[in-house]
């Protein structure tokens, strides 16, 4: 039996904006839940107001919610993206130094593909040193629409 194939087209984009503070840093927070058509994360950056180096883990929870796959753990420099002098940039999570083996888009930028209804999550490996402290996670993803 042949199976009908469904085709999808990018119909727009949306943003990811998640804040973590010193109260919820070691608990995995949802950054994005892919639609039934899946998602392509185009950018993902992290900034921190903490005065100490932090370590973040990025993971994917499968559609059934039973298996978590860790994509990588990376360092966030003290005050990354939030220092007054602008000397410490935010962290580009999709950089090949942070997560190896990502696909590239047509412009050569790293992208992260998420399957049907998978959940992208992040958590800190330890609590933040400063209170109040905040980690901001921001990025963008493509929205897909079925095409007949």
Q: Where are the domains of the chain?
A: 14-147
pTM of the model: 0.85
Rounded average pLDDT over 118-124? 93
Rounded average pLDDT over 52-63? 92
Does pLDDT of 125 surpass 50?
yes
Beta strand residue intervals within 6-133, DSSP E: 7-21, 29-33, 39-48, 54-61, 68-76, 91-92, 103-104, 110-114, 119-124
What pLDDT, on the 0 to 100 scale, is given for residue 6? 58
- What CATH number does the domain located at 14-147 have? 2.60.120
**Per-residue pLDDT tens digits for 63-112:** 888 889 999 999 999 999 998 888 899 999 999 988 889 999 889 999 99
Rounded average pLDDT over 20-44? 87
């Amino acid at each position: 039996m042949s199976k009908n194939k469904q085709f999808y087209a990018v119909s727009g984009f949306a943003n990811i904006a998640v804040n973590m503070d010193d109260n919820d840093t070691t608990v995995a927070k949802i950054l994005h839940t892919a639609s039934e058509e899946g998602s392509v994360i185009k950018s993902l950056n992290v900034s921190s107001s903490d005065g100490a180096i932090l370590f973040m883990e990025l993971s994917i929870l499968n559609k059934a919610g039973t298996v978590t796959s860790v994509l990588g753990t990376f360092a966030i420099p003290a005050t990354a993206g939030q220092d007054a002098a602008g000397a410490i940039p935010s962290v580009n999570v999709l950089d090949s130094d942070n997560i190896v083996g990502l696909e590239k888009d047509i412009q050569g930028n790293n992208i992260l593909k998420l399957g049907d209804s998978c959940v992208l999550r992040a958590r800190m490996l330890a609590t933040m040193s400063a209170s109040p402290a905040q980690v901001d996670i921001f990025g963008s993803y493509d929205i897909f629409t079925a095409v007949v």
